[in-house]
Amino acid sequence: MTTLLHIDASARTKRSLSRRLSSLFVEQWRQQHPDAEIIRRDLGLAPPPHMSEAWIAAAFTPPAERSTEMRDTLALSDTLIAEVRAADLIVLGVPMYNYGMPSALKAWVDQIARVGETFSFDLARGDFPIEPELSGKHLVVLSSRGEFGFQPGGVRAASNHLDPHIATTGQYLGVVRKDIHLVAIEYQEFGDERFARSIADAEQRVHALVRELAIGLPHSLRASPSLAAGMSSAARSR
């Protein structure tokens, strides 16, 4: 059985394209894995609070020395980390806002990145003292952008502060770069045939990803022997 954490970060609801992609993914996943557990976190509708001085003080106080007030301050962070910890697969619907991530998503990352929980810090490791505590998860990033050309080599690649930021902070989620799967709708602000094609391509890619990940995740492999039997040798070695 897989556990999927479904996150949305768009402030829009019905008209949101990133929500449309993430809903499609989760719907398809549910169909193929009826026993999957789905954890829901809607950051667009309920953004976590920004960090505060009290939060930082609590997070950097050893657990045994925390006051009741400090424990209360970290309660939401504890819940959000537990959701990530439980997940095999994180599905993130995320718009590009001002060339980066929505502030609600950044606030969530700030709540998740916690010493002793999602990373350790040790100067004995020299110039790279941070090591992730979690591992082995896949992250599906389902995005939407008004403009276009944000892919590596694209005309706006240098303005893309969303995908690289997600990739770097993936270490706090237990995700390595090769296990981040990105699908993005572009051209939303142009509303032309390129936009229509981009939506169709993205939806097709979501369907394909559901199939590929069903093969690649060891838990779902056990849950779906018929899918496992049909998989290619290339997929087997992922």
Ligand X SMILES: Cc1cc2nc3c(=O)[nH]c(=O)nc-3n(C[C@H](O)[C@H](O)[C@H](O)COP(=O)(O)O)c2cc1C
Which is nearest to 135 in space by CA: 174, 105, 173? Answer: 174
Minimum separation from the CB atom of position 200 to ligand X (A): 15
Minimum separation from the CB atom of position 76 to ligand X (A): 24
44 or 48: whose CB is closer to ligand X?
44
Minimum separation from the CB atom of position 194 to ligand X (A): 13
Residue 188 to residue 219: CA distance in whole angstroms: 36
Which is nearest to 131 in space by CA: 148, 113, 145? Answer: 113
Q: What angle do CA 172, 176, 178 make, to 5 degrees?
A: 155
58 or 202: whose CB is closer to ligand X?
202
**What tokens does 220 get?**
């779902």
Minimum separation from the CB atom of position 184 to ligand X (A): 10
Residue 29 to residue 67: CA distance in whole angstroms: 42
For ligand X, the binding residues (CB under 6 A) are: 10, 12, 16-19, 95-99, 144-147, 188
Q: What is the DSSP letter of 64?
A: G
185 or 210: whose CB is closer to ligand X?
185
97 or 119: whose CB is closer to ligand X?
97
